[in-house]
Amino acid sequence: MTTRTITGGTFAIASLIDGSMLRDTHFTGVTLTGPAVFAAGSFRFEGIQNMDGTLEAVIWDVPEGRTTVAGAVLVQNCTFVDCTFRQIGFAMQPGTVDQFIKNLTIGNHPEFG
């Protein structure tokens, strides 16, 4: 599996996805723009991330037991280092929200900390 690396710049999510997946990419210092909703697959955050909107706006609750989220971008094998997310939400089940926030350092919203 080849991992692409994207450093710096601003990119619309639509220009980076393959079908409905964003995969095998290491982002550093990138601004990613939506509108988009990321479905939690396998990704990690390093450094400080910046997101617009409140916690309530960024986190989209997915009921327990639901296995698909229509229209969402599945993120697989991606790392985000010091990135900015504009008009991007994250769809996840309630049990994963605390872990998501715990593994995330938000640069511009103290309510995430």
pTM beyond cutoff 0.85 = no
Q: Write down the pLDDT at residue 76.
A: 92
The residues, ordered by sequence, that sit 6+ positions from 73 with a Cβ below 8 Å of its Cβ are 13, 17, 20, 21, 22, 36, 37, 38, 39
Tell me the pLDDT tens digit for each residue of 101-111: 766 666 655 44
Tell me how far apart the alpha carbons of residues 54 and 51 are, in angstroms, rounded to a whole number: 8
The boundaries of the domain holding residue 66 are 4-112
When divided into structural domains, the chain yields a total of 1
Secondary structure string (H, E, C) spanning 43-65: EEEECCEEECCCHHHHEEECCCC
Please check the confidence at residue 112 and state whether its pLDDT lies above 50. no
Stated as kind and residue range, the H or E segment containing 111 is: none
